[in-house]
Structure 1
């Protein structure tokens, strides 16, 4: 049964950050199915587009079930609404996004939601986040999903993990949204009452 996905950025025929995608896929298979053997996404992507910017969507369960490529356009995000859920669990990149979609539906006139769990910032509905203070970028220690781009940026020392209480967001100057398809600092909002809205 296919239950999980990896979304991979493809630039001019090369799958980006593949090591972290493979690691997360195999860690998920181990945790959910108890399968220790290692799969390599590269073995399933023979028809990879050779030029341009694409999204590769890998669907898997015990094995890889489907691989598809499509053109990618970044969603416009200029404002966020803080919404809370202390019970949401999205530790694995599941195809079941019902909880995320329910929270996204609470965005009102804003473009996306910034999800608060146990009074701490986590992610938006589509991306990990980092907040800037005095030139340092901090990312929530307990995101909903430990993204592959987040893992790479932490490994490179670009980001620092810390707990970010929702009532301290105004002490930061900017918020960056990023994921496998959205490069770090390509989507940055200044934090003010027009861009980050409280319920």
Structure 2
């Protein structure tokens, strides 16, 4: 069976957006493995005594059951350039541990990351959802490869909105930011639109 992954932000004693991670994990366990017993991650994760302050990535690997939990110190990865990559066959509906679909593209580029275009629409970079700023509001692609927990949080709070975005639409935006469980909109560095390479 395929292993799956939840990446949870631990910051100064708090596991961020844990309810959204619980929902995604339990939905995946039900759909992929038929498991109806729900897991509450906050009861399964033991915080190491050495962790007092700072930001750590809590990495949970699971199938029907949790297989491993580890904490890794987190630093924001600098992204300056992103290569548009066209792939109509890519599928990442669930957060799989195995990521060959991205690795195969990443090894072919010189830019910092890839931005997948599927069926003519912009979706995600290799490890995050993306949002674009048009001068008034932040917009995220309506058809991401993976519906991330931070994306869901920001949509629920109406801090971003979703729209179909084609490559030709990029000219109408001022900048972009990457968002994921570890990377909040307010702290994500700007990516210049000119840094997105066709």
Task: Output aligned runs, 1:158-177, within 5 Å.
Answer: 158-177=159-178
Please name the residue that 1:71 is paired with. 73
CA contact (8 A) 1:2 1:65 kept: no
Taking the aligned partners of 2:97 and 2:190, their CA distance within structure 1 comes to 27
Within the candidate set 77, 82, 85, 1:83 is matched to 85
Q: Please list every run of 5 or more consecutive structure 1 residues that lacks an aligned counterpart in the other structure.
A: none
Q: Please list every run of 5 or more consecutive structure 2 residues that lacks an aligned counterpart in the other structure.
A: none
Total equivalences in the alignment: 195
Please name the residue that 2:154 is paired with. 153
CA contact (8 A) 2:87 2:116 kept: yes
Please name the residue that 1:32 is paired with. 32
Shift of 1:19: 0.6
CA contact (8 A) 2:2 2:96 kept: no
Taking the aligned partners of 1:52 and 1:177, their CA distance within structure 2 comes to 21
Within the candidate set 92, 99, 102, 2:101 is matched to 99
Where has structure 1 moved over 3 Å in runs of 4 or more? none
2:55 counterpart of 1:59: no
Taking the aligned partners of 2:89 and 2:147, their CA distance within structure 1 comes to 17
Please name the residue that 1:22 is paired with. 22
2:180 counterpart of 1:189: no
SS in structure 2 at match of 1:138: strand
Taking the aligned partners of 2:9 and 2:34, their CA distance within structure 1 comes to 28
Give the alignment's TM-score, normalised by structure 2: 0.94
2:128 counterpart of 1:132: no
Shift of 1:189: 1.4
CA contact (8 A) 2:117 2:123 kept: yes
Taking the aligned partners of 1:119 and 1:75, their CA distance within structure 2 comes to 28
SS in structure 2 at match of 1:113: strand
Shift of 1:90: 0.4
Taking the aligned partners of 1:103 and 1:2, their CA distance within structure 2 comes to 21
